[in-house]
Amino acid sequence: MNCKYHSAQEAQSICEKCKQPICPDCTIKVDDQTVCSHCIQENLFSEQPVLLKRSSLEKFLFFCFSLIPGAAHMHMGLFRRGLQLMIITFGGISLISFIGLDFLIPLVLIPAWFFSFFESYHLRRQLDKGQVINDQDLFDRQLFDYTPLLKNRRLVGSTIIVIGIFSLMHEMERYSFFVRLFREWNYYYMIRGSLIPLCLILGGIYLIAKAKQPTKVISDISENQ
């Protein structure tokens, strides 16, 4: 009787797993039992990962947390990533609502909500498979580096001034200061709603002008050479 996997060799034993005749080259001893190498490979590479079973209550609670951007991440222990999602979502909504551009709220809320919802379930499946997940930042450090922004004192100072102006305007609005100053609320809301667009326009002009300077310097150097 020849071997099942090597037809040119004579079989000397029977595999206790597949019950096929095997030669000495295919024979493997496991706890005094004869098993062929083919069965060993099938058991090693075809084994499905064991998923962690969760109760219905845990699934329902996780679903409730996943409806809030960042909450499901915190529930899994990813506090840094969850906090960043919450700040981006609710902070962006608050800022947009404060400056009166409410039509931009769906552009922030809808992508952030869908991203948080589907990523939370994706990360939970990885945890159920036993994979280790690091609590990384939402943005890659190489893609979104805060260091140059923090070192730019003018930018930091300008941001603080703008935030302070809006805070002061909000505080004065509570005590009807602008009613006595402008007599009508229309002028106040016009000025308030125009500040952010003006800042964006001036910031864009500044960035464009700054981006053109290196090109001009390089062109001057090439002309001199």
CA 12, CA 25: separation in Å to the nearest integer? 10
Residue 175 in this model has a pLDDT that exceeds 60:
no
Confidence of residue 142 (pLDDT cuts 50, 70, 90): very low
CA 3, CA 11: separation in Å to the nearest integer? 5
Domain boundaries, the chain: 13-45, 56-128, 151-224
pLDDT of residue 63: 92
Higher-confidence position of 35 and 151: 35
pLDDT one-digit tens code per residue, 29-38: 777 778 887 7
Which letter, b or e, does each residue of 57-76 get, where b requires 16 or more Cβ atoms within 10 Å of its Cβ? eeeeebeebbebbbbbbbbb
Closest CA to 21 of 11, 29, 30: 11
SS3 12: coil
CA 197, CA 14: separation in Å to the nearest integer? 82
CA 148, CA 181: separation in Å to the nearest integer? 40
pLDDT one-digit tens code per residue, 75-122: 888 888 888 899 989 988 887 777 666 777 888 889 999 999 999 999
Tell me which amino acid residue 129 is.
K
Contact 97, 105 (CB under 8 A): yes
> For 180, how many CA atoms within 13 A lie in the half-sphere containing its CB?
6
